Chain A
Amino acid sequence: MAMKIGRREFFKKSAQAGLALAVGRELAAAGGKPAGAGLAAKAVVVGVGIGADYEKAALKAVELLGGIKKFVPKNARVALLPNVQSRHPGSFTKPEVLRAVIKLCKKAGAKEINCLSWQPVKQWEDTGLKAVIDAEGVGLKLFEKDEALFKAVPVPGGLALTGARILADLYDHDLLINMPITKDHAGNKFTGTMKNLMGLNSPVNNRTFHRPNWKTDPNDVAHLEQSIVDLNKAVKPALNVVDATEFIVTNGPFGPGQLLRPEKVVAGTDRVAVDAYCAGLWGLEPKDIVQIKRASEQGLGEINLDKVVVREENV
């Protein structure tokens, strides 16, 4: 079910439900520490399901992490963030991957499951994601690009951003599952878990990431990359499930472009490790991707895959 939500509908709904916008939940980085700080003490695990059946591959990837119940408690309200930037093949999260994650959340006993977005409904229809959402009977909450619908969120340890503006409705959920597709990007060469969070940040705030020469002047490029890293300090997904089944490696992020088909779904909680793994799938060096390198340097995760437990299994 798709629901178009403007300012009036949002505040009416929030008041009816008696919902206060949560501050300091797991969704936001708490205690002023960057999300992911202290990860070095834990074993970082990345689960990779491999196979032409993308739904099964996604199920396997999460299973290899220990199962969905590690991430989604019973009665949880779950927000999902697939990528719907374009409808060209290999440029959006596959419906099969979304279906798998919805099924997993249901299996864990989630009380409510919603895809959140400020992209128009046509994008969801053209990519086939809406059909899955409708068939599975979960929510599709589409928000107008109205700043009143976004919540000011501090960025602890932010170097380029002091604050983000996140869809307020996210804080009516208990956790976020981030579901990008990894792909080429004409500006910074790579899209993965970290850049996908721009889909939750307000378009106005996103524009501050982009200085006039954000794709060409090295200082402006660095500002964009740091802004993406900072955004990831403000919002920490409970789980990342990345579509690396087939994706464009040229003409990104919109396509059409050349498709690479590793037939993999990659899951993990450590965004840096997951992105480092995905970058390697198409021959990129993680340290050459500025956002991955900086996120690693700033404590968001592990860039060195030698220190990561990668569990791969065919389906």
Chain B
Amino acid sequence: MTAARGFRATLFLMGLFVAGAWAASGLFKEGPLRAYLPADNAVEGWAKDGEPQEYEDEDLYTYIDGGAEIYQEYGFRRVILQDYKDPKGKSVSLEIFEMETPAAAFGMFTFKRSGTGKTVSFGGGAELEAYYMNFWKGRFLVTLTGFDEARETIDGLLAVGGVVDSKIRDAGAVPGLVGALPEKGLISGSVKYLKGLLGLNNIYPFYTARGLGFAEAARGVYENGATLLILDYGTADARARAWLDLKAHLAGSDKFTAGTGGSPAVFRVLDGKGQHVAIAGSGPRLLIGISAVKDAAFDIVRRASHLTARPG
């Protein structure tokens, strides 16, 4: 070995040492979500395309300009984005969102799904749409997007998703409040789990924030067309205060008119679309039925009240 070659080798080794020390120091920080990314050819023929991108906390606004708030409402920690491609040039984009809790991941999954996609067997629940799929498992929400609807793309998307699914150990549980939705006639894909007003506004607008500071909520649509919303405020006292506030808004709003009939325990209004809205308190929960058919709104509230009645 000449002196020059020896010097270059020494420099190379020193470089390796410095790089290793830098990585070990934490200054070169790779997020924990990298562990969930499928390696090259973990799915035959599919390799990583480019470097992963990672965003934490408020940085999500950089990645999802105009769409980050709903993740924050549920409780967001971090996301990793990695593209994959196959030799034919097909692409799949993988996003793994780490939420604060399994309930947040489930809620975000229900927010994003259409309810009309194909149910597939991934994690705690998955829905495959024409060119993308969402599934949740533990505190993770996984979104895979193909950039066309070709069979190879969808096969790749499912295979990459399968590897991610196998890497996530904890399953997580569906929030208990979802079980308060009466099962009979419930369209399962319609279930949504909410943590705040933004999610609620995307389902049904009350045109106010008054009285809508619930802790969690669930929504189900029934085969007869009725919608049931269950808002849980944690305690009966909190629910009672919120209900007074919301009722005052509904009574004074030009978006709603007073309804008639039913029982005295059920408050009724008619919204601007001609839908009947029936509302009743039950312990810590507010039960809200919405339907174009007057009796259907009332009936779903009545059915739910039998299920949810418990001391607040």
- From A151-159, A211-219, A296-304, give the one contacting chain B: A211-219
The interface bits of chain B over 101-119 (1 if a CB of A lies within 8 angstroms of the residue's CB, else 0) are 0000000000010101000
Distance A213 CA – B208 CA, assembled complex (angstroms): 12
Distance of A119 Cα from B19 Cα, bound (Å): 33
> Is A89 interfacial (CB 8 A cutoff)?
yes
Q: Is the CB of B67 within 8 A of A259?
A: no
Q: Is the CB of B132 within 8 A of A256?
A: yes
Evaluate whether A256 and B207 lie within 8 angstroms (CB atoms) in the complex, with A185-B66, A187-B69, A250-B114 already known.
Answer: no
Is A186's CB under 8 angstroms from B69's CB? yes
Q: Which chain A residues in 180-196 approach chain B with CB under 8 Å?
A: 185-187
Could you tell me if B131 and A186 are in contact, using CB atoms closer than 8 angstroms?
no
Contacts of A252 in B (CB 8 A): 67
Q: Does A251 lie at the interface of the complex (its beta carbon under 8 Å from any beta carbon of B)?
A: yes
Given contacts A88-B145, A216-B201, contact A258 B129 (CB under 8 A): yes
How distant is the Cα of A54 from the Cα of B131 in the complex, in angstroms?
20
Interface residues on chain B, size class: 20 to 34
Complex interface: chain A residues within 8 A of B197 (CB): 213, 216-217
Given that A89-B147, A186-B198 are known contacts, is A254 also in contact with B66, CB under 8 Å in the complex? yes
Residue among A89, A186, A257, A259 making CB contact with B70, cutoff 8 Å: A186
* B145, A216: Cβ atoms closer than 8 Å: no
Q: How far is the CA of A85 from the CA of B66 in the complex (A)?
A: 9
Given A215-B198, A216-B198, do A256 and B69 touch, yes or no (CB 8 Å)? no
Q: How far is the CB of A82 from chain B (nearest CB, A)?
A: 15
CA distance A258 to B66 in the complex (A): 18
Within 8 A of B (CB), among A72-94: 85-89
Quick check: B69 and A215 within 8 Å, CB to CB? yes
Kindly state whether residue A47 has any CB partner on chain B within 8 Å. no
- 15 A-B pairs (CB sep. < 8 Å): A86-B64, A88-B145, A89-B147, A185-B66, A186-B198, A213-B197, A213-B209, A215-B201, A217-B197, A250-B112, A254-B65, A256-B131, A257-B114, A258-B116, A258-B130
Measuring CB to CB, which residues of chain A are less than 8 angstroms from any residue of chain B?
85-89, 185-187, 213, 215-218, 250-259
